[in-house]
Amino acid sequence: MSELAAKLADLRTRFSTDVNAAPDEEALDGVRVAFLGRSGEVTGLRRGIGQLPPGERPGAGKEINDVVEAMEGELAIAQSRIENRVFEADLATQIDITFPAIAPVAGSLHPVRNVIRQAGAYFRRHGFAIVTGPEIEPDYYTFDALNIPSTHPAREGFDSFFITDTLLLRPHTSPMQIRTMQAHKPPVAIVAPGKCYRRDAVDARHLFQFNQIEGLLVAEGIHFGHLKGMLTGLCRELLGPDQRVRFRPSFFPFTEPSAEVDTTCPKCKGHSDACNMCGGSGWIELGGAGMVHPNVLREVGYDPDEVSGWAFGFGVERFALTRFEIDDIRRFIDSDPDFLEQLS
């Protein structure tokens, strides 16, 4: 090792010791001046380069510069360490670190999503599969295959969003009935939850985008009593053990016979003429249901003489309105944290 290299090694060791021992910025600056200042030790070494043998002079300058660069790096690290120590000390004097912290705000499942999950769990326990499908459908799956040809007046009631002449945002999840039956032979047992779209004016009971859960069971010997039993069980699962279900005659092109489905008002249980939820009727409408029309079974290649089935479709937000005794469906899309927290 050359004499210069030995001096640089000794200087670097002493510099590191002094830097690490500096308690504050003033002391650290004193170390910097002593070693790297105009009259510091490094400057003295640079002045001595001219006294070295000619062959050692070019390399001596580079050795000194490399050591200086390393020393400046140590200074920067020490400066950062001292600044952080001062900041933490100041922070400790301003904040009571023993005081309980503010609990983080945790999100939760939306109440509508909770209803979908609980309804899905009910049907899974009874052997049903949950299926989902596209939200943009051809009119064949949305209408034609469901016994609603282009000339049928029932199409008007769906207030559909058409994207092209034959593609539309699905107004119900019923296309999944057709897709499932085309892909599988009976028996078939599914529920199809998902978003639907209709050009409804937004008010206390209507949204242009809503969630629906659809059910379908097709097998040998299926009758209306099976439908009533499943829907009564669903209502008791979601609304309470005392719920009853009634069926009022109605018309849907894809079911025959068809019915509107009501359940006893979960607020007054049908015992108050002044109930503001059911208007004193004692009943809340949930959706439509019925036995699958033979034309629909034939469309998917099933023989209506061998199998029969039932289907239903409920608006999930309507179900949630009933369950949580909410008077305005728009509350579910207002994103009010206080409101949603009450229902979580």
pLDDT digits 0-9 by tens, 98-134: 778 888 877 788 999 999 999 999 999 999 999 999 9
Q: Which residue has the higher pLDDT, 200 or 226?
A: 226
Residues 45 and 149 both lie in one domain: no
- The parent domain of residue 59 ranges over 3-94
Residues 198, 290 within the same domain: yes
What is the rounded distance in angstroms from the CA atom of residue 115 to the CA atom of residue 238?
A: 8
What pLDDT score does 107 carry?
79
**Nearest in space to 176 (alpha carbons), one of 211, 142, 128:** 142
Nearest partner of 253 among 172, 138, 163, 169, judged by Cα: 172
The whole-angstrom separation of Cα 225 and Cα 9 is: 95
**Contact call for residues 235 and 222 (beta carbons, < 8 A):** no
Structure tokens at 129: 């599969």
- Of the three residues 62, 94, 126, the one that is the final residue of a domain is 94
Is 143 in the same domain as 66? no
Helix (H, G, I), strand (E, B) or coil at 255: strand
Q: Which of 69, 94, 119 is the last residue of a domain?
A: 94
Number of structural domains in the chain: 2
List of E strands, 126-208: 129-130, 136-138, 161-162, 167-169, 188-197
By mean pLDDT, which of 59-68, 82-91, 163-172 is the weakest?
82-91
* Measured distance CA(288)–CA(177) in Å, rounded: 15
Stronger pLDDT, 31 or 288, i.e. the higher one: 288
Same-domain status, 254 and 293: yes
Tell which of 94, 120, 137 closes a domain: 94
Q: What is the pTM of this model?
A: 0.68
DSSP 80-133: HHHHHHHHHHHHHHHS-TTSPPPPPPP----HHHHHHHHHHHHHHHTTPEE---
Say whether both 124 and 260 belong to one domain: yes
Q: Determine the Cα–Cα distance for residues 17 and 142; give it in Å rounded to an integer.
A: 81
